[in-house]
Amino acid sequence: MFLDRLPPVGKRLARGDTFSFACHRSLSCFNSCCRNKHLPLTPYDILRMKKALKLHSDDFLEKYSLYRVDPNSGFPVLSVNMVGETGVCPFLGPEGCTVYDDRPTACRLFPLGRCSGVNLRGAVLEEVFYLLDAPNCGGVEEQESQTVEEWIDDQGLPPYIRMNDRMLGLLFHPRTNASGDLDCHQQQKVMVACYNIDLFREFVLKTGFGERFRLERETVERVMESDEALLNLGFSYLEQALFPARGSE
């Protein structure tokens, strides 16, 4: 999720640039990329996967995720809890990925990586794509060529990028440095509003949240039915809770 530095200029790709890659069962390395990896999970990744598996957020987080705190920002960072000595992805089955239609962002992007910068207002300023180092991947030797934009559309990435960039606005909020690292109480708020979406729905509906934040009835009805709308509400709530406007602190 975090890079110490941007990739070298010569390795960066824009959306109109082309690269060669194809993954298929005939490759000797097929499914080997699902082992011994650090696979980050964004809030939208977890939303999609827990829904596909028909699990409550509590159950998904307990069974499939690992938790750590980013030392620079203090934000919770989640990743897939790999299984066994060889670190196999728990979603890998005999025929391949068992959650393929709802697979995480990192899996959809491969063999690309993506990083973004933000301006002082917290809006996305720039995105950079780059080819990951994948020395044992036969797919990068294939001659099938596509643009980055074509790959994004083909892999169903637009909603993932849109939602992940909303999280980016929190991670690099203009008042983040002034507020210092998140404390345990703030980390808990992030975990509930971003990652435990079912618990956040209960919080919104049963604690007077709507009255305190002056939610319109249409908004409440929307978050009752849509996890995506609820996650967007979670991002807005955290922006107010973690970085209150000056004068309202």
Residue 56, pLDDT > 60, answer yes
- Of the two residues 5 and 53, the one the predictor is more confident about is 53
Structural domain boundaries in the chain: 9-156, 176-242
pLDDT of residue 5: 64
Residue 229, pLDDT > 90, answer yes
Residue 68, pLDDT > 50, answer yes
For 186-210, what is each residue's pLDDT tens digit? 999 999 999 999 999 999 988 888 8
Among the residue ranges 11-15, 41-45, 88-92, the one predicted with the least confidence is 11-15
Residue 1, pLDDT > 50, answer no
For 110-168, what is each residue's pLDDT tens digit? 999 998 766 555 555 678 899 998 888 999 999 999 999 999 999 999 999 999 988 98
pLDDT of residue 164: 93
**Residue 99 near residue 49, CB atoms below 8 Å:** yes
Residue 175, pLDDT > 60, answer yes
Q: How confident is the model at residue 177 (pLDDT cuts 50, 70, 90)?
A: low
Task: Give 92: exposed, middle or buried? Use CB within 10 Å, 0-12, 13-18, 19+.
Answer: middle
Adjacent-strand bridge partners of 223: none
pLDDT of residue 139: 92
Residue 46, pLDDT > 80, answer yes
- Of the two residues 25 and 99, the one the predictor is more confident about is 99
Q: How confident is the model at residue 49 (pLDDT cuts 50, 70, 90)?
A: very high
Using CA atoms, how far residue 67 sits from 18, 19, 85, 191, 249, in Å, is 36, 34, 19, 10, 29
Residue 85, pLDDT > 90, answer no
CA contacts within 13 A on the Cβ side of 83: 9
- pTM for this entry: 0.90
Report the distance separating Cα 91 and Cα 111, nearest Å.
19
